[in-house]
Amino acid sequence: MKMAIAFKDVDLNFNLTINQTKLHRVSYKRLFYRTFDKKRFVYSFSFLAIFLFMFQILIDGNSCSNVSTCLSGNCSFEDTHKYPYGIPIGNGSRLPIPGTNQRLPEVLIIGVRKGGTRALLEMLNLHPDIQKVPMEVHFFDRTDRHALGLEWYRHQMPFTFEGQLTVEKSPSYFITPEAPKRVYKMNSSAKLLLIVRDPVVRLLSDFAQIEATRSEWKKKPRSFEDVALLSNGSVNFQYKAIQHPSLGKLAPYLCLAPIYT
């Protein structure tokens, strides 16, 4: 930003200076043609174009080699991280890595929102035995998507080898009353990962994200007090980010593992 403003100011002053007198304008032209060597510029540009062309060939060659290796069945767990939804073969088509399949997730990161769930997912994905679902599928918290069935849900999953764990993250699962029962019906042995955070700090972070989204949609800005407090100064328990006593709804479906801090 500073560079753009500075460039604009310098450009304006420079134009004013060179337009003040004919002498200045002539001096500027002489300086330009003296320093600009057309032949040298053409040579430099040609060299750069050839270099970029050869570099692209090298990259494509390595890519083709990797693809050929995978298609021949010599892939490792790490290769599923490169091609989570299959190997691109052109025209928008993809082929699954031999020996892989799309499997329902065995691990779900269910929340909390603004608790660091994305960071947790990315760190887990560093392990070759774990394959993340890149996007939030929202299968268990949205009735319209849940109605599409488990087969639809499975086809949203990345390809994995036998023995790899598929991990899906949707923080809304924690605050959706229907989600625990739906997850239990899919897999009663599924592992649920939950991050907890100081509730006040989490609430403020959640509010900031919501307001940023509202701003993108040109909606009227609100203060935190407008949504979190009533006119008499008491807490507004109807505000979504405050009202959900979610852990109690999970209890009938849980066998609690140790809590890590």
Task: Confirm whether residue 114 is marked as ligand binding.
Answer: yes
Active site residue 114: yes
Task: Confirm whether residue 61 is marked as ligand binding.
Answer: no
Q: Tokens standing for 195? A: 């991050």
Task: Confirm whether residue 103 is marked as ligand binding.
Answer: no
Q: Which amino acid is at 221?
A: P
Task: Confirm whether residue 197 is marked as ligand binding.
Answer: yes
- Taking only the tens of pLDDT, the chain with its 261 residues reads 222 222 223 343 434 343 444 444 444 445 444 545 566 666 666 767 776 666 554 444 444 446 666 666 667 777 788 888 888 877 778 888 888 999 999 999 998 999 999 999 999 999 999 999 999 999 999 999 999 999 999 999 999 999 999 999 999 999 898 999 999 999 999 999 999 889 889 999 999 999 999 999 999 999 999 999 999 989 888 887 886 666 667 778 777 565 555
Q: What is the homologous superfamily of the domain 103-261 according to CATH?
A: P-loop containing nucleotide triphosphate hydrolases (3.40.50.300)
Residue 90 to residue 92: CA distance in whole angstroms: 5
Q: Please, where are the H alpha helices in the chain?
A: 2-18, 22-35, 38-71, 79-82, 117-124, 143-146, 150-154, 179-186, 199-216, 224-228, 240-243, 246-250
Name the catalytic one among 82, 114, 219, 220.
114
pTM of the model: 0.68
Angle at which helices 2-18 and 22-35 cross, to 10°: 120
